[in-house]
Amino acid sequence: MSAVLQAEGLGKKYGKRWALEDCTLDIPAGRVVGLVGPNGAGKTTLLNLAVGQIQPTAGSIRVLGGSPASGPEQLAKTGYVAQDTPTYARLSIADQAGCAAQPRVGRRDRARAH
């Protein structure tokens, strides 16, 4: 694998406004990279696309050789801690990490179980 993250012509549009437009980049394996830019430059949008939280409007993105939208097996290869993700003061770091690793059961799943 030559790149851990590859984007080609990647874009995300909200309404009429582009949050990220025509982003093309390759991040090689084994490199440490920082995303730097002003507010609204598309840094968070790029990360959300990379972990499959949102789908691109244009272009393509591959992470560790696969599309983030391809399913749970691909998503299990990545991790993401958002800047504004809450932490729980009473839990240890290990317990907080364990919470994040647990699958979330939605209301529909609970309703089907009953």
Q: Measuring CA to CA, which residue among 36, 39, 61, 59 is closest to residue 50?
A: 61
3-state secondary structure 18-66: EEEEEEEEEEECCCCCCCCCCCCCCHHHHHHHHCCCCCCCEEEEEECCE
Architecture of the domain delimited by 3-80: 3-Layer(aba) Sandwich (3.40)
CB contact at 8 A, 57 and 11 = yes
Query: What pTM did the predictor assign?
Result: 0.71
Query: Where does residue 49 rank: exposed (0-12), middle (13-18), buried (19+ CB within 10 A)?
Result: buried
Per-residue pLDDT of the chain (114 residues; tens, 9 = 90+): 589 999 999 999 999 999 999 999 999 999 999 999 999 999 999 999 998 889 999 999 999 999 998 888 887 888 777 666 666 667 777 877 776 666 655 555 555 555
**What are the beta bridge partners of residue 62?**
6
CB contact at 8 A, 49 and 11 = no
